[in-house]
Amino acid sequence: MDFLSYLISGISLGSIYAIIALGYTMVYGIARMLNFAHGDVIMVGAYMSFMATTRFGWHPLLSVLFAMVVCTVLGIVIEQLAYKPLRAAPSLAVLITAIGVSYFLQNAALLLWSANPKSFSSVVPFDSLRLFNGRLIISGTTIVSIFVCVIIILALNTIVNKTKIGKAMRAVSEDKDAAQLMGVSVNRTISITFAIGSALAAVAGVLLCSAYPILMPTTGAMPGIKAFTAAVFGGIGSIPGAFLGGILLGIIEIFGKAYISTQLSDAIVFAVLIIILIVKPTGLLGKKVLVKV
């Protein structure tokens, strides 16, 4: 029964990683950049939800929407101010800028909300589910995290494969110049990608703090790095890869904590990443590009 309980916790934590990893992977796929500030957008989303419920007394669900709106705007603003001017710059310059934005957000949060951890109360109103005469307890947050992740994956899959903007995103991700020649605005497509990724980050932030209720300015940093790991693990640029990578990472982390060592669990996570990358450098579902002349 413990095994089942750990597995479900792993999938739940993995779902949150997957939602964050989607933001990394989509932005990478389209703008070919690693947005290391993505993890800190999670933190901003969590603070927004926290403020909305505690200061303004809003309904938790409304607070999530509020966090999504703020993060969407934040994502677009970051892209316009920090990354867009560097479109033609070497990728190293963009990477360093992204790290700069990450520290900027953390320090702005420190200034606004201080370093004192806030105790975040879960936005999920459901009680825990008790199964097998109470031997298996699954919290409402756990169930909602998995459920939300599945919905997001299905929705994104539809957007990317069926809608005009989704097709434009795939076209830009494959060949920027050719996409422009078809009439696609690359700048607009990148902005929309940042908007979607940041809105997802807000959702992830709220779910993360509902599961692990300590909120401080560095809250987003570690999950951000882990979700980035998940995205690479699954094959960066691949949406199903981000999903698979996130879930597996969550399971590995929880099993590592439960069966090996709580202190070593992060080390185990990254060790697995290194092994996967040695065996399969493109990640689990990394794209093999087929070129014919």
Partner 1 sequence: MLNVSGLQVFYGNIHAIKDVSFYVEEGEIVTLIGANGAGKSTILNTVSGLIRPTAGTIEFLDHSILNLTPHKIVRKRLAHCPEGRRLFLQMSVEENLEMGAYARDDIDMDAEMADVFSRFPILEERRTQLAGSLSGGEQQMLAMGRAMMSKPILLMLDEPSMGLAPILVEQIFDLIVELNETGTTILLVEQNAQMALSIADRGYVLETGSIVTMGNCIDLLNDERVKKAYLGG
Task: Give me the residues that bind partner 1 (CB under 8 A), please.
Answer: 164, 167-168, 170-171, 174-175, 177-186, 287, 289-293
Cβ closer to partner 1: 148 or 190? 190
Report the nearest approach of partner 1 to the CB of residue 101 (Å).
26
Tell me the C-alpha to C-alpha distance, in Å, between residue 267 and each of 178, 264, 270, 271, 274. 42, 5, 5, 6, 11
Q: Minimum distance from CB of 290 to partner 1 (Å)?
A: 4
Closest to partner 1 by CB, 55 or 292: 292
Residue 178 Cβ, how far from partner 1 at the closest point, in Å?
A: 4
Minimum gap (Å) between residue 167 Cβ and partner 1: 6
Structure tokens at 119: 């105790």
Beta carbon nearer to partner 1, 107 or 185: 185
- Total residues belonging to the chain: 293
| Burial (CB count within 10 angstroms: exposed 0-12, middle 13-18, buried 19+), residue 175 | exposed
Q: Which CB sits closer to partner 1, 55 or 162?
A: 162
* Minimum separation from the CB atom of position 172 to partner 1 (A): 10
Nearer to partner 1, 2 or 175 (CB): 175
Considering the complex, what minimum distance in angstroms separates the CB of residue 159 from partner 1? 14
Q: Which lies closer to partner 1 via its Cβ, residue 29 or residue 217?
A: 29
